[in-house]
Amino acid sequence: MSKGILLFCFDTETSKYHKILRRCVNLIRKNLKLPITLVTDLATFHKIGDIGNVNYKLITPEQGNKKDAKPWLNVDRHLAYELSPYDTTMVMDIDYFAFTDNLRQFVDTGYDFLVSRQAHNMTFTDQPPRDRFGMIDMVWATILIFNRSPKSKLIFDTVKYVKKHYYHFTQLYRITARNFRNDYAFAIALQQVNGFVDYEVLPMKLHTLMPQCEILKIDDSGLVWRHDNKVMYTVDQDVHVLNKEVANV
């Protein structure tokens, strides 16, 4: 049974995701020790350079989505099932840095599909990493783990349907954040596929650094950041970094 990691990386005119990718790949090799397949476009591919033995899938990313009025090429995750060459796949955001091997254990479970429903704000403020903007809790599509079962395929097919009719579903679930989000698309699909009952999730919160956290230093063991005039650091802690300026550190 093959197991591996699927990454999506598309540069935009404002964010150099290929630089973030290099750190992500290095940490995967060091700590997770799983083969990697990278989904990217031709323009980004030419910028990546040598990152070792990686399986590439070139696609043309869908345009149109924006975040903070900037291009945000994040709407192709519904293709993960058909793009992955593995029997068990872990989809990971490239701004999620695996400073440990903690995620490795979850590719050895027998579950069809796993995703995290909670995140932890590492600034220790009262602000959650994301509010509930509708009738259902969103999930964090930052990390997805799935096998090639009929149920997994049904989940991804349902995400495609939700994406096609996203405005309808935002009305149905009273989701006020109208920009397309994988986090809500997968949450809706999981509720629909599971018959409006609870479903299996990753038993962990995703430790998250909010966009306003300034990343000062990053190495193979952790990172240092500044927030609200305080400098803090992590060692051997997986971290989801939302400030894309980490590419320049």
The whole-number pLDDT of residue 137 equals 84
Dist CA 39 CA 78 (whole Å): 12
Exposed/middle/buried for residue 47 (C-beta within 10 Å: 0-12, 13-18, 19+): middle
162: CB partners within 8 A, 6+ apart: 169, 185, 188, 189, 192
pLDDT score of 33? 97
The angle at the Cα of 166, spanning 14 to 75, to the nearest 5 degrees, equals: 35
Q: What is the pLDDT of residue 132?
A: 54
Q: Which residue has the tokens 């989000």?
A: 181
Buried-exposed string 134-156: b where 16+ CB fall within 10 A, e elsewhere? bebebbbbbbbbbbeeeebbbbb
Contact 211, 124 (CB under 8 A): no
Q: So what's the pLDDT on residue 130?
A: 53
Closest CA to 242 of 96, 144, 137: 96
- On whether the CB atoms of residues 93 and 181 are closer than 8 A, the answer is no
Question: Which residues in the chain show pLDDT less than 70?
Answer: 64-72, 125-133
What is the domain partition of the chain in residue ranges?
3-206
Q: Which helix (H) or strand (E) holds 163?
A: helix 150-164
Question: What is the CATH superfamily name and number for domain 3-206?
Answer: Spore Coat Polysaccharide Biosynthesis Protein SpsA; Chain A (3.90.550.10)
**pTM for this one?**
0.93
